[in-house]
Every structure is written in C-alpha cells, then in structure tokens.
Structure 1
C-alpha cells in the first residue's frame, strides 16, 4: 500500500490518464453488452439430470415450450361458446411464433374418425352428452378438459428451442392480444400456466425489480451519505469510485461476450454499495487529516496508509465470499460469483484511484460541507455504546459465545427447497393459474418418463405394450401425479381391435405424435404433470414412483426407463446448488479466517473475528428454521453475500485497534479510541447497506422481499456484533498482552 500511496501522490496525471483510458475502453464494452439469457441457463450443469434433459430435447423437442391456456366457464360446451373457442384456436394457430395448438377440437372417434366436436353444430345439441364424450375420451380426460366440463385446456406449442427471455416475451405478447380480444367477446376467462408463462412473469419481474432495486440502493446510499457529510459535493466524490467500478465491470463483461440476465442483473447495486463503503472510509480519513492542517499530499498519503490496507483486506474477503460460488455446479451461479468478485476488485481499484485524484484536484469545499459533518455526534453515540463492552467484557463475550452455539443446531437443521413461482407475487395471475391447474388438472408442470426398447423389438411388440402399460399404471397408482398420457392414449381413439391395427392409422404420418413417440430411436414418452408445491414434495413423489418402476426394470432388463423433464432437472440441480452454496459458505468462512490470521499475524485475531462474523449468519439461518422457512436459492446467496460484507466492518475495527495500541495505553483506552474513530463509518456504511436492501421490501416479489429482509437482519446483527461483541472479545483477549505488531509506517511526504 505504501508503493501505491507514493505513486498516487507522485504521479497524479498518470493515474488520471489511466482512469480515463480504462473508462473509455470499458464504456465501449458497454455497447457490446447483451441483456438476454436462456432461462435454462439458471439451472443447467454438467450432471446426469442435465444430460438426460438434453437428450430428451434432442429426440422429442423441448418440453418447456408448451404454454397452457385454461379457459374457465360454466357454459363452455354451449354452441355459442364452442364457436368462440374454435375461433380462439384458429387465431392462435395463425400466429407466427406458434407451432401448433392441441385442444378438444383435434379429438376423433369411431371407425370413420369423425371429430367429437363437429365443425357445424347439429340440431338438438346436448351439452351434457358432449361433456361425457369428451371426458371419457382417452386423449382428453385430465388433459384437455376437466371432469366438470367447466375448464378447457389449449396446449399452445411455441416455436424454437432453448428460448431466451426476449423470445419468450415476444412469442407471448401476440397471444395475450388474442386472449384479450377473446375474453372481451366471449365473457370467458383465460388463464396462462406452464413454463413459458412462469418464465415470462418471473424473469420480467426480476429484471424490473433489480433495475428499481439498483436505483433505490443508489438513492438510499446518497441519503445516508448526506446525513454524514451534510453536502452534495462530498457525496458525489464518494460515488465516483463505485460508479466507475460498475462501468468497468460491465464493460469488461461486454468485451468478454457475457450476457447480463438473472443473477448477474443484481451486480450494479452490489458493486455500488461495496465500493461506496470503502470510499466513505477513505474520505473520512482524508478529511480528518485535512482538518488537522495537513497538506493535500500528506492527507492522501496518510489516509491510504491508515485505511488502505483495511479496504484492501475487506475487498479480498468479499472476493473470497463471492469466489466461493465458483464451487457451484450450476454455471449461472459460478458465473455470478466470478463477476461479483471482479466487480468488488474493480470498485476498490476505482476508489483507490479516484479518491486521491479528487482530493488532489477538487476544491476543498467539495470534500466536506461548510456546515460540518455528523461525525462528532456519531462519536458521542459511540462513546455511549462502547461503555457496556468496556465495563463487563467477560459477560458480553460469554453471552455472544453462548448465543453462537445455541443458534448452531437450528441453522444446521435447515431444509432445502425451491418453488418455481417463489419470485412471482402471490396475487399474480400466473400463480392463480397454477393453483387452478393444480386443483382441476393435477398440476401444470410436466414430468416425462422415457421408455427405450431393445433393437430386437419393433413397435408395437407385445413386450413394449406390456412395459408401457405397467409404467402408466405406476404413474396412476403413485399419489401426486396427474393422469398419464402416451402414444397409447392416441391409439386408443383410433378404430381397430389390436394395437397393430390402430398403429396403421399413424404409421408414416406421425406428425401429431412426434413429441411423444420416436420408433426410429426406439423411444416413447409417458407424460404426466405435478403441482407447484416445491422441490421437496416433487422429490418425495419421484422416490415413490422410482419404487414402482424398479420392479418393471428388473423384470425387463433390456428396457431403459428414465424420469426426466425440465422441472425434474431444475429441482435436482437447484437443490444441489443450494447445498453447494452452503458448503462453499463454509469453505469461504475457513478461508477468510485463515487470511485474517495471516494478515494480522495472529491466530487469536482470526478466532476473535470468527464469532462476530458468523453469529449474524447463524441468527438469520436459525430464524428461518424456527419460522419454518426452507433454505432457498435466495437465502443461500444472501449468506454468501452478507459474509463478505459483514467481515468488512470487523476488519476496519481490528485494523484501527492495531494502529491505536500503544505501550503506554491500556487495552480499554485503545478499544475506546478505535470505536470513536471507526464507529461513525461503521454506522453509516451499515445504514447505507440496510437502506439499500430495505428499499427492496417494497417489491411485491416474495423472493426479493426475502432477500431484502435477510440482508437487513444480517447486516444489523453484524453491526451489533462489531460494536458490542467484538470490543468485548478484544478486551478479554488482549488485557494482558503486548501491543500487536504492525508494519513500520513509511515517511509521509510533507508537500
């Protein structure tokens, strides 16, 4: 840090040119940014379930392009409604991005293969008889119409594969227009469900929420900074570094061809608040030197020497926290961890470059307000807060240690779960549609069972029929699955006494069944659906289904039977990644402990810092467990983020404690001086973080609300730990010890 301080003081023009050149280059990279990603990238990995899903899509096409439209009404089968529904089907099929629409209008019956719903409504139309014919049809029951006849289903297949967010949105937009016209004309209600509807709602909401969240975080940071500096100019100076750090990070992402979406959309607000906290520490240190009569060069040099090492170490620990996400098996989470770590480094470098330049060249009035600052008031408050840990340090320390071990069992007992709509507001139409599908159809999320038969058999050999029949029966008898559908449901509607005779009707013209049947690859699908009740419930269903399938595979060893689908792969991978995040958090904690022990040349310091940093995470995790909330991807990411941020304050406290130790000064006096000097900055930086995260509580999305609440609770608990528990631990640990060693200070330039 001494070398960096000398360079910034001695070569300010060179640093200014470098900053301008890097900013211009990264600004050009911003023009190359892409803001469109595939939803499947969020849970894709290199494991078996992802490979199974990839194979499924290659043979049968994507299983996540089916938009489920549910038309609700008590007179759906009246002639007028039938005409309206047929018109809706025709309009949907004419759309450019729609590959096809499956509905009750495709059903045939009898040897003449006449449509169940004729084109022209005949005299004496009997709606009740039509309901009976439809609900008893093998391809319609539980698939295209509810038993009551008051809910009809259109399966709208979107064109393309691995659709991105914008492609999904552009495909659904004209469908929404058609639906609006139909609802106005018919008086019937249309609900959207299925993967495209969920993704359109979730991803659009996340993008908008993160944009507003970043704006709120910036406004909250400015407001909190104004309370400290009481002037717009010093606030603007503090914001220069974080803003440039964000520009540099996203410009580099643009040059590297990285698409922004999903998790990486949250990077602007994260980089901003991380960089802003370091900038405040640096500017406060410089202002103290200027107020003491030091020259600008001397103030820059001294502030970098005093605060720079702590800022460097805090950025390192933050990078470790984010870098631990690279251990995740999900590419999206690993990529987020990489760029979050790069962003933290970019914010620090920007602060260390820009703040010295601002102090050197800007008028002194831009560095602090003429009305003074809130530091004296905060120092007075710190004097009051520090009395308790200074008076009864042993009691405070024991209380913190007891709380640590008391919370540990509850935190470990957390269950891992996800819900596909956890990012959608409860009152959102997609959520209501999924609840309706769960109640009337048994669910809207497809689960697919692949059956592969040996080369020695050709469809429809009797053994294939037996295996497929047993698999369908296993699905029917396993609770929690919707009625199964396969090629046999389609064949059952054709005339003929045997499967061979029925198969002749589709052999050579299989377009209608290509998505469930591929005799060339010797594969077929048995499809079912599950409700939207989370990954734990799905895993329990899959275990019960697997128990039913095992005897079939044992009896027919030449057959291969696999359970797959987007919802299955997502559930398995997302639950696995949450476990990965928990393990990476543990690894990051150990690594941060090691780094702090090495940096401060004291194993005791590492142990002391461990408790106040981990206790806030344990309190939050235990609270989730006690209240019955599972460990979700949102909460797991929150812990990794908050670990890096919580350690920052601890580092500043210990660094100042080291610098304030004197042979002639008692430990209590050193702790008191430390808290007076660093306490106001800790209050402000924590206030900025809590205000930024707290603004997201206004968001209607449950996942964003949970993320916001967890961050606020954790950061407040971390502040309490650093202001009360950490001073008490320092008092107890160093009461009879010599002052900590610290590298010799370099000569400070006088001009």
Structure 2
C-alpha cells in the first residue's frame, strides 16, 4: 500500500533543463544568459509556406489578425513577425496589410528582402516562407505549460491552414519536447502492456499451470512496484535515463524468480511429493537464495558505481537502480516464500517442465546435445570467443557519443516534418548563442564592439549548419532613418520605449555603472547531431579567439543546444566509462563469495561478450552512442551477471559434492541452462512487441535488449562452460 501511494507521487521529469543543467562553467554561463537575456529555448516557430511568394494575394491580410490574436494569449510574452518591423530610412511599419495592391506588395517584398531583421530571419531567401517567432511567457517552463500553449497556438493558426496553397509547420524546442515526452509516455505504457501480455502467453505455453506462472511473475512485478513507489517517496522523477528502470529491474528479477520456480519443481519431483510445501520452499531458498542474493548485491554494487559520475542525472539513475536491485531481491524472496510455502506452491510440480523426472537422461534435449558438440572443442571455442571479443572491442572503441534532439520523434510525424522544413529554410529550430562582453568604459556601439560583432556575424554566416545571426547590430543597421553612425543611433534609440522592449533580449549595457557590458548574438542551429555540431563549434571557436585578439572584446559560445549537447555527450561518455568500471567491480564481487579467483576470472569473458556484441551492433547500425543505446549496456550487464552467477554457483556446488569438472559443467548446463533458455524465451517475446513502436529510442532499446538476452545466453551456456573445461584440461596436463 505504501508503494502504491508512492506511485501516485511519481511523475515524469517535465522540466527538460533539469536533465542537462549541471554544476560547471558551461551551465553557469547558460543560466546567466537566461537571467540576462531570457530563455532561448521557449520559442515556438510557426512557419507559413506558400506556393506563391508571401507578398502576393491575400495572405498578408489573412495573417495579421492571427498574429494579433496570438499576442493576446496570456501564455505568450511576445510575437515577432514581419508585422513587427519598421522600414529602413522611413520609420513606418514595413508590412501594412491594408496596402495590398500588386505594386505595394512587390515593394514590401523588396524592402523585406533587404531588411537586416527580415531576410533569413523572418523571411526565407526565396520569399515563399515566413516565420512567426512566438516566445512563451515564463523562465523555466514545464511540459504541461508548453502543451497548453501549443494547443492554443494550434487553434489560432488553424484558419491559415485552410488557405489554398498554404502549408503550416509548427516547430521549435517546445514542440520537440512535448512530442517526445508525450509519445514516450503513451508508447512505453502501451508496449509495457503488450510485452507483459506476450510474456504471459509464452509463460502459459511453457508452464501450462497458473501457480507456476504466478510464482514466477508476481515477485519481480511487486519488486518493480516497490522500487517505483520508493522513487515516488524520494521525489525522484522519471526522465530520459530512468525510463528504462522498470524494464531493467523486471528482467533481472524475473530471471531469479524463474530459477526459484524451477528449483522448487525439481526438488518436489526428486522427493516424489514427499516434502511438505514449507520444507520444499525452505530447501529451494537454501539452495538458490545465496545465488539470488549474490546477483542482487552484484547488480546493486555495479549500478551504485554510477554514483561516482559527475552528472547528477546519472548519479540518480545509479542510486535508483541500486536501491531497486535490493528491493527486488526482497520482493522475489518474500513472495516466493509466502506462496511456495503454502498449498499454492505444492501444485508447481504439476507444471509441464516437471512432467518427466529431471536429471541426466539417456536422451538429452536437443539444445543440450548441440552445446555438448560445441564443447568437445573448448580451447577452440574460447579462442574464437577471445578473437571475436577483440575484434568487437576494437570496433567499440571507435564509437563516439552523439545526440539528436529529434531522436525520440517518429519519422514522418508532423513535428519531424516541421523540424526538417525549418532546418531547410531558416537554418534550424534551436538557438545557439555567442555572448559578447566589453569593458565598462565602452558601450555596445563602440567601434571595437561593432567590429567584433560584424566579424562574428561573418563567421556564423559561413557555416551551412547555422542560420542567419541576429544581434543588436541588426537592429542598429535597420535604424538608418536616424542620422549619424551606430553610436548616434544607439543614443537616440535608447530614448524610445518601443526600442527598449526590442533590445532587452539582445543587450545589457546600463550607462553609468562600472560593470562590463554584454550582448548576445543568436543563430539557429540545425539538428545535425551533437557530435557534428561540436566539430563546427570548435572551428567557429578558433575564429572567435582570433577576433578576440584583434578587438579586445570577449566572445564566448553558448546557448541551449551548445551546452546541452556537450553535457549529454559527456553524460553518455561518463555512463559508458562507469559501466566499464562496474564490470570490473562485478568480477571482484563474484570472486569473493565464490572464494575463487579462477571463477571470477572465468566470468569476465562471458560478461563482456553481450556488452561487446551490443556495441558492435550499435556501430554498424547507428554508428554512434546515444543515451538510449548506452543505457542498453545496463541491461546487458544486468542479464549477463545474473545468468553467470547462477551458473557458477551451481558449478561450485557440484564441485563441492565431489563431481569432476566435466560432470559439474554438465550438471550446471542441465539445471541452469534449462532455466536460462525458458526465461530468455519469455523475455525476448516480451521485448519483441516494442519493435513495432514508432518511437526510435524504444525500438532501438527493444532490439538491443533482445540481442543482449540472446548473447548473454551464448556467453553463459557456451563460452563460460568452455572456459571451465579448459581449466580441467590444464589440470590433467599438470
């Protein structure tokens, strides 16, 4: 009941900034820019595209009332459009909807294409597209606020969609965030249900008995509920990383639960129903409880090592997984004891897998015969595995972290089309920025500041991945109806209230104080991936350093896509490194309880195999590490370690009973391998439903998870036994 109440407190992380803002100079600079110039990620972009030029027909006349109604919405702070601009040389409005003769429209188009604040910024180069820049009110907006504002915007711009020859595209960071989170919420819930039902159907087919099915699935389900409830009570929100926690924990807990169910059935069958339910449950926990505890401690320690990361969101993910691993163990063991020690558990012996006596049979299962054929050549098997791991490892080290802001959006969706069109016509949907700083004795119109801005504009314009830059220099250039140079225009414009409203987003230069002045140069960035953007930014940064040297004006790259891209790529890199550290830590934890360095070393290769296969698959599919496919490594590690510990525990117990290495390997394969095959089949079928998802991250996660489950099976049923058999050959030679 406490966990269920915690679930009601659990919510999604609806403020995207909390995921990428972290302690550090880049984040501090970004927050300072938010404070000085306002948020650069709260702008909704409505692009109006026409078959004919924008300045033809009645389009301008139809757009004006829409813009006016948008400005009246309480969720909107301001709307920048062609209707906001004044002409050069003559201080009157550039676009007047009442002047709609062909000659007047042609004149307005000519002036707009020459205007420093219009061409490439509000009007496309070909004159067929214009953009409404709608800044949402507020500083740090949550998803619910953004969604409400977008719904109101969509309703108001609907009349424009009905005009002949007009296409409307709504984009910008708010639309991407709302679409991503909304789709992930819906599809995660949908495919969790589908996956659960698919797994249940396979479990029914395998066990043919509802007591065994309930005993296997109830424990991990309760463990996941306990974990998510605990996260709710600890005020942990589900974000882009924590979203895999339910699937990850269920997979780990389900494997342990199936081991207990199969162990219970085997003991009941061996005793020929002479054991009481309580005694059978006690002996099962005595035999397998230690292995389950080892898997939980190992998983908790492995994921707990992620708390050493420098990224807050990765630390929280590691903490939640570590807590979840222990809660999962408690839930599986307590549920198993409560049910198996009752008459409910006595019926498990009637399940299909126990219909025939267990043990070594004259006619072995097909899968076991196939594995034994391979294990006739253990050295060759190990050698091939090592070579394959080396090849895959050499490939994996070439993987680089990357992130696309639209990677959670379905291809062909309206939001994706909007992003593509905005990238094509205006250079992007997310604003990068250059922070310009100068000494207190100068001002924004000083020659060295203007020269620095002009040179920066030129550098940005030369990059195809950037849109047209916007700064106070554009405003001063457009105010040529005022006499004198930029310094005179700056002084004159500061006395105009309407100018102060326009300039407050671009410059902070209070006269009379001793503080350095600041201005910002905005430019749209295309969604080409954080890695490609980083390469372009490094090139731009070198040019900015040269401009700094020549002018003495400080120029610093920033903006949400720049900082968030760097933080996310660092996060991915740290997560990958932390998982590598966790893998080594797992080796230590396995060696201590088993009291064998040899068995600890034997676990390294089968545990590394699924990780390397996943990395190899990522390299030849996407070609880079994203947050989603990096998190799949967590699943690989969890599955591989779980399976390995159960196999090694059974092997060690068989050795202590006096069996030879070969016999111990065969017993372990017969008892543990059967469980691994059944649990893997159920999990793979459960994950398969997600392959039909329209959300790329969920589809990729499902594909890699299925691959991880299958390769972990190969690692523990073929590679690990082969390594153990090699030790037998070595002892014989000795």
Scaled to the shorter chain, the TM-score interval is: over 0.9
Cα distance, 1:560 vs structure 2: 2.4
Q: Deviations over 1:358-395 (max 9, x none)?
A: 11224346535465658879972343133124422222
Give distance in 2, aligned partners of 1:702 and 1:216.
17
1:501 corresponds to 2:496: no
Which residue of 122, 128, 132 corresponds with 2:110? 132
Task: Choose which of 590, 613, 627 in structure 1 pairs with 2:607.
Answer: 613
Q: Does the CA-based 8 Å contact 1:29-1:255 persist in structure 2?
A: yes
Equivalent pair of 1:634/1:707 in contact (CA under 8 Å): yes
Are 1:182 and 2:182 counterparts?
no
Which whole-Å deviations, capped at 9, do the CAs of 1:255-277 have from their partners, x for residues lacking one?
A: 22222343323322322222222
Q: How does 1:462-611 map to 2 (within 5 A)?
A: 462-494=447-479, 495-496=481-482, 497-503=484-490, 504-507=492-495, 509=497, 510-520=500-510, 522-557=517-552, 559-611=553-605
User: 269, 288, 300: which one pairs with 1:319?
Assistant: 300
1:280 and 1:372, CA in 2 relative to 1: closer, same or farther beyond 3 A?
closer
How big is the shift at 1:575? Answer: 1.1
- What are the Cα deviations for residues 591-635 of structure 1, in whole angstroms up to 9, with x where unaligned? 011111112111111111111110222122123324561121112
Q: In structure 1, which of residues 339, 353, 366 is the aligned counterpart of residue 320 of structure 2?
A: 339
1:324-371 alpha-carbon deviations (Å, 9 max, x no partner): 332333322221221122122211110111111111224346535465
Deviations 1:202-259 (A, max 9, x none): 1111222222232233223323322332122321222221222122222222222222
2:382 corresponds in structure 1 to 397
What TM-score comes out, normalization by structure 1 length? 0.91
Which residue in 2 is equivalent to 1:46?
A: 23
What are the Cα deviations for residues 137-166 of structure 1, in whole angstroms up to 9, with x where unaligned?
A: 110010001111111100010111221222
Structure 1 pair 369/658, CA: closer, same or farther in 2 (3 Å)?
same
8 A Cα contact 1:479 1:541, kept in partner? no
The superposition leaves residues 100-138 of structure 1 with CA deviations (integer Å, 9 ceiling, x where unpaired) of 110001111145411111141254544433222111111
Distance in 2, Cα, partners of 1:507 & 1:381:
88
* CA displacement at 1:171 relative to structure 2: 1.6
Q: Does 1:438 align with 2:420?
A: no
TM-score normalized by structure 2? 0.93
Assess if the C-alpha contact under 8 Å between 2:50 and 2:128 holds in 1: yes
Q: Is the 8 A contact 2:266 2:354 kept in 1?
A: no
Q: Is the 8 A contact 1:417 1:575 kept in 2?
A: yes
Sort the Cα spacing of 1:384 and 1:505 in 2 relative to 1 into closer, same or farther, 3 A.
Answer: same
Structure 2 CA distance for aligned equivalents of residues 450 and 536 of structure 1: 22
Residue segments in structure 2 that go unaligned for 5+ positions in a row: none
| In structure 1, C-alpha distance between the alignment counterparts of 2:145 and 2:30, rounded to whole Å | 21
Is the 1:41–1:331 Cα contact (8 Å) retained in structure 2? no
SS in 1 for 2:644: helix
- 1:418 alignment counterpart: 403
In 1, Cα distance between the equivalents of 2:214 and 2:388? 41
> Are 1:631 and 2:618 counterparts?
no
Specify the SS of the correspondent of 1:450.
strand
Q: Tell me, what secondary structure is at the counterpart of 2:79?
A: strand
User: Quick one: distance in 1 between partners of 2:227 and 2:302?
Assistant: 18
Q: Using the alignment, how far apart are the partners of 1:303 and 1:385 within structure 2?
A: 29
From 161, 164, 183, the equivalent of 1:205 is 183
Q: Matched residues in 2 for 1:695 and 1:325: separation?
A: 30
Displacement of 1:27 = 2.5
Structure 2 counterpart SS, 1:257 = coil
**How many Å apart are 1:735 and its aligned residue?**
4.5
Aligned counterpart, 1:232: 210
C-alpha distance 365-77 of structure 1, shift in aligned 2 (>3 A): farther
Native 8 Å contact 1:321 1:641 kept in 2: no
Cα deviation, residue 550, structure 1: 0.9
Change (3 A) 1:372 1:458: closer
Aligned-partner Cα distance in 1 for 2:207–2:354:
5
2:38 to 42, 48, 61: 61
- Comparing 386-395 and 645-654, the one that deviates more: 386-395
CA contact (8 A) 1:228 1:374 kept: no
Moved more, 418-427 or 498-507: 498-507
Structure 1 distance, partners of 2:602, 2:13, is 45
Q: 1:42–1:330: 8 Å Cα contact kept in structure 2? A: no
Bigger shift: residues 370-379 or 402-411: 370-379
What's 2:230 paired with?
252
Offset of residue 177 of structure 1:
1.8
Distance 1:235 1:512 in 2: 66
1:478 Cα deviation after fit: 4.2
**SS, match of residue 449 in structure 1:** strand
Q: Please identify, of 531-540 and 497-506, the stretch whose mean Cα deviation from structure 2 is larger.
A: 497-506
**Alignment partner for residue 659 of structure 2, among 652, 662, 665?**
665
* Secondary structure of the structure 1 residue equivalent to 2:45: strand
Using the TM superposition, name which of 35-44 and 365-374 deviates more: 365-374
* Correspondence for 1:748: none
SS in 2 for 1:420: coil
Q: Is 2:444–2:519's contact at 8 Å kept on the other side of the alignment?
A: no
Deviates more, 1:424-433 or 1:344-353: 424-433
Aligned mate of 1:709, from 700, 703, 709 = 703
Question: Is 113-122 or 660-669 further displaced after alignment?
Answer: 660-669
Distance change >3 Å, CA 411–CA 374, structure 1 → 2 = farther
Distance 1:545 1:560 in 2: 14
Match of 1:732 among 711, 726, 730: 726
The gaps in structure 1 that reach 5 residues or longer are 1-23, 739-751
Does the residue aligned with 1:162 lie in a helix, a strand or coil? coil
Equivalent pair of 1:229/1:368 in contact (CA under 8 Å): no
Partner of 1:330: 311
1:448 partnered with 2:442: no
| Alpha-carbon distance in 2 for matches of 1:579, 1:115 | 51
Q: Which of 133, 147, 170 is matched with 1:155 structurally?
A: 133
Are the equivalent residues in 2 in contact too, given 1:612–1:726 (CA < 8 A)? yes
Measure how far apart 1:657 and its partner are: 0.8
**Partner of 1:141 in structure 2?**
119
Range moving further from structure 2, 417-426 or 256-265: 256-265
Is 1:389–1:727's contact at 8 Å kept on the other side of the alignment?
Answer: no
Which residue in the other structure is 2:331 paired with? 350
Matched residue, 2:283: 302
Distance 2:80 2:676 in 1: 61
Q: Give distance in 1, aligned partners of 2:353 and 2:664.
A: 26
After superposition, what is the alpha-carbon deviation per residue over 1:495-530, rounded to whole angstroms, capped at 9, x for unaligned? 123113322134462112211111136211111122
Q: 1:188 offset after TM fit, Å?
A: 1.9
Name the residue aligned to 1:692: 686
Which of 48, 56, 79 is the equivalent residue of 1:71? 48
Change (3 A) 1:258 1:407: closer
Shift of 1:37: 2.5
Asked whether the 8 Å contact 1:193–1:434 carries over to 2, the reply is: yes
Tell me which moved more, 379-388 or 161-170: 379-388
